[in-house]
Amino acid sequence: MKQPHILIVVVVFLLMNCARGDAQSQNFRAATSSSYIERGNEWYAKGEFVKAESDFTLAIATDPSQAGAYYNRAVTRYRLGKLAESLADFDHALQRNPRLIQAYIDRGGVRYAQGDFDGSISDCNKALELNPKLALAWGNRGLARGGKGDHTGALTDFDRAVKLDSRRAEIYGNRGVARFRLKDYDGAISDQTRALKLKPNFAEAYSDRGAARQFKGDTEGALTDYQRAIELNPRFADVWYNRATWWQRKQDWARAEADFTHYLTLKPQHADAYCSRGIMRLRQIRADEADQDFDRCLELNPKLRHSLERMIAETKQPFVTKP
C-alpha cells in the first residue's frame, strides 16, 4: 500500500511596510510609490491579490528603487501561484536591500515549492547568519532538509524552531511530519495534537495525525481524523488519498475507488493515484475501466510500469481458477 501523503506547509508572511523609509523625507516619486504600496497592502489584506499585484507593479514603475514594493509583489505573486515571477521579485528586493531578512526566508519558501531544496537551504542559512533567532528560518530549513530526505536534520531544525516560537501551529505540524517519516508515530501524533490545540481548524494536522494513527494501528482514530479534515477543508486533496488507503485496508474497494476519484479531481496529474484506483476497479471486476487508469498512470509516469505490473499480477491471482 502506498504511504499516505503528508502535507508540508510553507509559511510566507507579508512584510507590510518593508524598506519604505520616512515618506516625508522622500521626493514626490517615492511618496507616490509609497501610496501605491499602502493601497496594495490594503488589497492584500482583503485577499484581493490580483489588485494588490497591480498596485505593487505601479509602485515599482513609479520608483524602481523601492525594495519593499518588489518584496510585497513577490509575496503576492506567490499567493497567485506565480512562482517564477515571485522568485524574480525576491531577487530584485534583495539586490536593493541585501539585509532584508524576511526576503531570504520567503525566497527560500518559493524555492522549496519549486523543488530547489539546496537553494532553499542556502537562503535560510543566509537569514540565520543575519539573525539566528528566527524561528521561521529554522522551520523553512527543516522543510528543505526533509525534502532532501534528511528527516533527522529536519527534526533538529524543527526542534530549534519550536524553542524559539512555541505558538505557531505549522511548526508543530511540520515537526510531526518529520517524526512520521522517522516512524516515530507517537511523536507525530503528539505534535499534530499540539498543533490542533493552537489551531483547532487546522485540517492538514487532522489529516497528518490520521496518517500517524493509521500506521500505528489506530484505525478508528485515523478515520475520525480524516473525516474531520474533510469537514474543515474538502478541497485538501491529500486527505482524500489518505482516507482511500484506509478503505483499501478495510477491503472496501468501492469506497476506496470513490475517494481516489475525488483526489484525482483535485490532483489530476498524480500517476500513483490512477494506479491505485485502477487496482480498486480491477478488484471489482471492471477490467476495462481499470485498464484506462493503468494507461493514464503510465502516460504520466512510465517508470511505474514494473511495479504496476507486479500489483496487477498480485491482484488477479485470487481470480484465477485452479484446475
CA distance 104 to 119: 10
What pLDDT, in 10s, does the model give residues 45-95? 999 999 999 999 999 998 898 899 999 999 999 999 999 999 999 999 999
Q: Does 244 reside within a domain?
A: yes
Same domain membership, residue 304 and residue 254: yes
Q: What is the pTM of this model?
A: 0.82
Predicted local confidence at residue 31, as pLDDT? 64
Q: How many domains does the chain have?
A: 2
Given a cut of 90, whether residue 22 has pLDDT beyond it is no
Mean pLDDT of 210-221: 97
46-69 burial, b for 16+ CB within 10 Å, e for fewer? Answer: eeebebbbbbbbbbbebbeebbbb
Which of the two residues, 320 and 36, has the higher pLDDT score? 36
Same domain membership, residue 302 and residue 245: yes
CATH of the domain at 257: 1.25.40.10
Predicted local confidence at residue 66, as pLDDT? 87
Predicted local confidence at residue 317, as pLDDT? 80
Same domain membership, residue 296 and residue 242: yes
Task: Give the residue among 216, 271, 280 at the shortest CA–CA distance from 245.
Answer: 280
Range of 259's domain? 236-318
Mean pLDDT of 260-284: 97
CA distance 189 to 287: 39
Q: In the listed set 233, 267, 291, which residue is the last one of a domain according to the structure?
A: 233
Predicted local confidence at residue 33, as pLDDT? 78
CA distance 264 to 118: 30
Model confidence at 30, in pLDDT bands (50, 70, 90)?
low
Same domain membership, residue 241 and residue 179: no
Mean pLDDT of 302-316: 94
